[in-house]
Chain A
């Protein structure tokens, strides 16, 4: 993250920031266990753990400080969640055993209903309107799985390739 991102006048390649939100210990939610249980339907061993986290991507106009404010005052719940911008921060909510990471995003051709709400909320906070907002989901999967198995789970459980794109990162 360069400090130049804050400059408003000169045209530059739009920078993007990602904010990932995670439940604090005790607030991981039941979604992960429900996702894990579905691995059995694909004939795979159940993962030891799955966590499901929202992720947001903002492109253009917002400074790092403004992204931080959006994360704190809007995207993460102050009682049950923590956030991190980019890869930074290793707060307890983000501590996990080595895991596969599957990010699922809507394809650009599919309109995202969350986008307009997030835009409106940023405006209420007095923040500038980003050029683009995307809302996605991250699945963090702990378990002895092959790359092919994760790929299959991504297509059959975690996303629908008709409307989604996914990105897999190995442990």
Chain B
């Protein structure tokens, strides 16, 4: 079967590009590390790809605010991105990529161009690198999380990960359309405070999709759990045969192939 082409977007400060490319390669895609300048110059066309990924990192140092400068840059190619999304192809923003998708106004998806949510500094006001427990919304349309167990674990690593919404209605709409894909939870699977919720996100939100489910913004890093040996406790557990994160990349590849 044809290996779908996944554009892994790079710019100054992207730093999770290689492991994200590895994850897509293991899942059966053909990752293409693509600098944003190559898209701006027209050398690479977004619409030629099958999957579009904004990986983690510190785009432009997260100067001013995390993801803001890259988001402004992506707004210059918003038309292509929207066409890409409407065609149903998978778009994935991980960590800094999620921040970018939110600050371009692509997530939460609305009819306007405005930004309806944002990210604030973690409540601890510190960078937090830790593993989190996540509960998947089984009613979500998200193509990336299909057939995953309801409870999963993934690491976060960010300083501005507190997801916030402009108005209560934005949150209600997200709930109503089952666009909240992942929530931070405790060992019992219940939403809980710090450090279970590592940043203070409203409603413990860790990942958001569009209602159709082909655009996913996710704060935790699925590309950091593609082998069982990535888990912090692999030396004392036997139940992880492989990294649960890999399944999310496979789902994207399968979606394109079908």
Does B158 make an interface contact (CB < 8 A)?
Answer: no
Interface of A (DSSP majority class): helix
Give the residue name and chain of the B residue nearest to A79 (CB): B118
| Inter-chain contact B64/A75, CB cutoff 8 Å | yes
Does A30 make an interface contact (CB < 8 A)?
Answer: yes
CB contact list, A62-116 vs B, under 8 A = 73-75, 77-80, 113-114
| Inter-chain contact A77/B125, CB cutoff 8 Å | no
Does B69 make an interface contact (CB < 8 A)?
Answer: yes
Contacts of A125 in B (CB 8 A): 72
Whether A80 touches B114, Cβ cut-off 8 Å, given contacts A31-B125, A113-B61, A121-B64, is no
Which one of B61, B63, B68, B76 has the highest number of Cβ atoms from chain A below 10 Å of its Cβ? Answer: B63
| Inter-chain contact B72/A80, CB cutoff 8 Å | no
Encoded as 1 (CB less than 8 Å from any A CB) or 0, chain B from 119 to 143 comes to: 0110111000000000000000000
Whether A34 touches B64, Cβ cut-off 8 Å, given contacts A79-B166, A121-B69, is no
| Inter-chain contact B68/A77, CB cutoff 8 Å | yes
| Inter-chain contact B118/A124, CB cutoff 8 Å | no
CB contact list, A103-150 vs B, under 8 A = 113-114, 117-118, 120-121, 124-125
Encoded as 1 (CB less than 8 Å from any A CB) or 0, chain B from 140 to 169 comes to: 000000000000000000000000111000
**Given A34, A74, A79, A121, which contacts B125 in the complex, CB threshold below 8 Å?**
A34
| Inter-chain contact A118/B166, CB cutoff 8 Å | no
**Given B60, B115, B123, B164, which contacts A117 in the complex, CB threshold below 8 Å?**
B60
Given contacts A80-B120, A113-B61, 11 further A-B contacts (CB under 8 A): A27-B120, A29-B125, A73-B72, A74-B69, A75-B64, A77-B65, A77-B118, A114-B61, A117-B60, A118-B64, A121-B72
21 A/B residue pairs, CB under 8 Å, sorted by A: A27-B120, A27-B164, A29-B120, A30-B121, A30-B123, A30-B125, A31-B121, A34-B125, A73-B72, A77-B118, A78-B115, A79-B116, A114-B61, A114-B63, A114-B64, A117-B60, A117-B64, A118-B63, A121-B60, A121-B64, A121-B68
Contacts of B114 in A (CB 8 A): 78
Contacts of A77 in B (CB 8 A): 65, 68, 118
Does B187 make an interface contact (CB < 8 A)?
Answer: no
The residues of B with any CB-CB pair to A shorter than 8 Å are: 60-61, 63-65, 68-69, 72-73, 76, 114-118, 120-121, 123-125, 164-166
Bound-state CA distance A54–B123 (Å) is 18
Chain B min CB distance to A121 (Å): 4
Bound-state CA distance A114–B115 (Å) is 24
**Given A29, A121, A124, which contacts B121 in the complex, CB threshold below 8 Å?**
A29
Chain B min CB distance to A44 (Å): 21
Contacts of B124 in A (CB 8 A): 30
| Inter-chain contact A74/B68, CB cutoff 8 Å | yes
Bound-state CA distance A118–B60 (Å) is 9
Contacts of A118 in B (CB 8 A): 63-64
| Inter-chain contact A79/B117, CB cutoff 8 Å | yes
Bound-state CA distance A6–B168 (Å) is 41
| Inter-chain contact B63/A113, CB cutoff 8 Å | yes
Chain B min CB distance to A12 (Å): 29
Contacts of A117 in B (CB 8 A): 60-61, 63-64, 69
Give the residue name and chain of the B residue nearest to A31 (CB): B125
Which one of B72, B73, B166 has the highest number of Cβ atoms from chain A below 10 Å of its Cβ? Answer: B72
Bound-state CA distance A125–B123 (Å) is 31
Bound-state CA distance A30–B115 (Å) is 24
Chain B min CB distance to A150 (Å): 22
Contacts of A27 in B (CB 8 A): 120, 164
Chain B min CB distance to A131 (Å): 19
Bound-state CA distance A29–B124 (Å) is 9
| Inter-chain contact A124/B165, CB cutoff 8 Å | no
Chain A min CB distance to B126 (Å): 9
